[in-house]
A and B are shown apart, each in its own frame.
Chain A
Amino acid sequence: DAMVIQNPRYQVTQFGKPVTLSCSQTLNHNVMYWYQQKSSQAPKLLFHYYDKDFNNEADTPDNFQSRRPNTSFCFLDIRSPGLGDAAMYLCATSRVTLSSYNEQFFGPGTRLTVL
């Protein structure tokens, strides 16, 4: 089945220790998104890739970076995690064209704990 896969599902890191979260998709979608979701809150968009073009939301901290080496994979890098970065991180994909828009497909998420 076509899907969005996130690894690992649970990640524990230490304060200030860089961490990378992974997302892959078999849907061949052109847009990939990263969201941060804190407890009892709505998902908050951090950034997205439209094909190879990276687009940052205005309020995304510099501590968060992303890479998309090919259509299928996208990574979220947190350079120096703080306690406030503990959250669920959701990857999503969509096929977006000039003439149509389809829904976003979400992965199962990675729950990040910062000690």
Chain B
Amino acid sequence: AQSVTQLGSHVSVSEGALVLLRCNYSSSVPPYLFWYVQYPNQGLQLLLKYTTGATLVKGINGFEAEFKKSETSFHLTKPSAHMSDAAEYFCAVSVGTSYGKLTFGQGTILTVHP
């Protein structure tokens, strides 16, 4: 069975600083990997995904993530944080089940302070 671990339930950065949210996964088969963002009282919005091909994937709002098979990691980064980035971020993995089941990490709350 697959699993996802997000290191750090809370991350705090200054506006303009680098954002790094960590995600490690466990899977016995090549995974599909996703990052979603959730603002308060809203649904989840896809930031980016890795399925096959290029291991560095770019997403919306300036975010990117790199799939590192040897480290079983899929960390999310953004060079310069903006106040509007404050939200909860979920890493998720799918191993291509017949119905695309997602297994989510526990989430990381990102705080951006002036």
**CB-nearest residue of chain A to B90:** A42
- Verify if A13 is at the interface (C-beta below 8 Å from B): no
Count of chain A residues with a beta carbon within 8 Å of a chain B beta carbon:
27
B43:A106 contact, CB within 8 angstroms: yes
- Verify if B18 is at the interface (C-beta below 8 Å from A): no
B82 partner residues in chain A, CB cutoff 8 A: none
A103:B49 contact, CB within 8 angstroms: yes
A111:B41 contact, CB within 8 angstroms: yes
Q: Given A101-B32, A107-B43, A108-B43 in contact, is the A42-B106 Cβ separation under 8 Å? A: yes
- Verify if B98 is at the interface (C-beta below 8 Å from A): yes
Kindly identify which residue among B49, B99, B106 contacts A48, using a CB–CB cutoff of 8 Å: B99
Main secondary structure of the interface of A (DSSP, over half): strand
CA–CA, A111 and B51, complex, Å: 32
Residues 32-45 of chain A, each 1 if its beta carbon lies under 8 Å from chain B, else 0: 00000000111101
Residues 94-110 of chain B, each 1 if its beta carbon lies under 8 Å from chain A, else 0: 10101111101111000
A106 partner residues in chain B, CB cutoff 8 A: 36, 43-45
A105:B105 contact, CB within 8 angstroms: no
Shortest distance in angstroms between B73's beta carbon and chain A's nearest beta carbon?
A: 18
- Verify if A81 is at the interface (C-beta below 8 Å from B): no
CA–CA, A108 and B51, complex, Å: 25
- Candidate in B41, B44, B107 with the most chain A CB atoms within 10 angstroms: B44
Chain B residues 25 to 47 lying within 8 A of chain A, measured CB to CB, are: 32, 34, 36, 41-46
- Verify if A90 is at the interface (C-beta below 8 Å from B): yes
- Verify if A71 is at the interface (C-beta below 8 Å from B): no
Chain A residues 48 to 93 lying within 8 A of chain B, measured CB to CB, are: 48, 50, 55, 88, 90, 92
**CB-nearest residue of chain A to B96:** A101
Residues 1-16 of chain A, each 1 if its beta carbon lies under 8 Å from chain B, else 0: 0001010000000000
B interface residues with partner A (beta carbon < 8 Å): 32, 34, 36, 41-46, 49, 51, 90, 94, 96, 98-102, 104-107
4 A-B pairs closest in CB distance: A106-B43, A42-B104, A106-B44, A96-B100
